[in-house]
Copies of this chain bind each other. A is one copy, B any other.
Amino acid sequence: MTAPACGFVSLVGAGPGHPDHLTQKAASRLRAADLVLHDALVSPEVLALARHAEVVCVGKRGGGEQTSQATIEHLLVAAGLAGRRVVRLKGGDPFVFGRGGEEALALQAAGIPFEVVPGLTTAIAAPALAGIPVTHRGTSSGFVVITASDESAFDATIAALPPGLLTLVAMMSVRARAGLTQRLIDRGWPAGTPAALVLGAATPHMWVWKGGLAQLATVAVPAPNGDAPGTIVVGAVAGLPIDLFEGFVTADARAGAHS
């Protein structure tokens, strides 16, 4: 790899939310950056570390405007050619549904030096902060992470996966929860399989629901416009009684049984 200029691009994972969960390298890159291009899911507290940088949002949330992927790649290459120290900051991890691979390939093709700075993926950290280990001896020996945005792979995965064999983590809009639930029940997952939904992990608005799979479809969520990115966990690990988060909404509590 040869560098046509002294620019450098770091593809950085911001983790699930709070700066506590940034890696030391990510924090260091933010402090040294002169340009930060970030997704909408990155928290203001994390962005505040980039004190010397121009900070540009290139993400979208809900139905809003979004900079196209091609434009983001052009911006990264242009900034690299201009000799800037760029952080491309993504919620979670750049290589887990983060399109970091596409950006890496674009930078490489343009001869811009770059690196990847992994971050905590929400797929694992959101359950963890809700007291759910994705693996647990005697309960689950592996896990699968999928998203609803590629519907054919999503359907094929659910069709193939024997109910209960692995912990299922789905990173998807909460709007899609009813469809996921129905597909799993159709596939033979018992309606009472423990399930959880985590929103806003590691933010002040973190919200966690735990209950049975059948209830996941209809649980009311505190999401603007009924939509938000969420982390869904289905499997026995979601039923382990590990109390890490005080703000649970449980199926029982919702029914008024106890709090």
- Residues on A lying within 8 angstroms of B by beta carbon are 1, 15, 19-25, 27-28, 93-102, 104-105, 108, 115-116, 118-121, 124-125, 127-129, 131-137, 139, 141-147, 149-150, 153-154, 156-157, 160-162, 165-166, 237, 240-244
Q: Smallest distance from the beta carbon of A208 to chain B beta carbons, Å?
A: 14
Q: Smallest distance from the beta carbon of A8 to chain B beta carbons, Å?
A: 13
Q: Smallest distance from the beta carbon of A73 to chain B beta carbons, Å?
A: 12
Please list 6 pairs of residues, one from A and one from B, whose beta carbons are closer than 8 Å in the complex, sorted by A's number: A21-B118, A101-B133, A105-B241, A108-B242, A143-B145, A144-B145
Taking a contact as CB atoms under 8 Å apart, the answer to whether A93 and B128 are in contact is yes
In the assembly, what is the distance between CA of A124 and CA of B160, in Å? Answer: 23
Taking a contact as CB atoms under 8 Å apart, the answer to whether A166 and B144 are in contact is yes
Taking a contact as CB atoms under 8 Å apart, the answer to whether A97 and B145 are in contact is no
A116 contacts across to B, CB distance below 8 A? 128-129, 131, 244
For the A-B complex with A15-B23, A23-B120, A118-B125 known, give 6 more contacts whose Cβ atoms are closer than 8 Å.
A19-B24, A21-B24, A101-B133, A104-B244, A153-B165, A160-B162
Q: Smallest distance from the beta carbon of A98 to chain B beta carbons, Å?
A: 8
Taking a contact as CB atoms under 8 Å apart, the answer to whether B166 and A141 are in contact is no
Taking a contact as CB atoms under 8 Å apart, the answer to whether A101 and B156 are in contact is no
Taking a contact as CB atoms under 8 Å apart, the answer to whether A242 and B142 are in contact is no
In the assembly, what is the distance between CA of A134 and CA of B116, in Å? Answer: 13
Partner of A20, one of B25, B119, B161: B25
Take A24-B19, A24-B27, A237-B101 as given contacts and tell me if A243 and B108 are in contact as well, using a CB distance cutoff of 8 Å.
Answer: yes
In the assembly, what is the distance between CA of A190 and CA of B94, in Å? Answer: 28
A115 contacts across to B, CB distance below 8 A? 244
Take A22-B24, A101-B133 as given contacts and tell me if A147 and B156 are in contact as well, using a CB distance cutoff of 8 Å.
Answer: no
Instruction: Give the one of A132, A157, A237 with max B CB within 10 A.
Output: A157
A149 contacts across to B, CB distance below 8 A? 141
Take A102-B136, A135-B97, A156-B165 as given contacts and tell me if A21 and B21 are in contact as well, using a CB distance cutoff of 8 Å.
Answer: no
Of all A-B residue pairs in the complex, the 9 with the closest CB atoms, nearest first, are A95-B133, A141-B150, A101-B133, A142-B146, A141-B153, A20-B25, A101-B136, A144-B144, A118-B125
In the assembly, what is the distance between CA of A21 and CA of B22, in Å? Answer: 9
A108 contacts across to B, CB distance below 8 A? 241-243
Q: Smallest distance from the beta carbon of A19 to chain B beta carbons, Å?
A: 6
Take A24-B22, A160-B161, A162-B156 as given contacts and tell me if A137 and B99 are in contact as well, using a CB distance cutoff of 8 Å.
Answer: yes
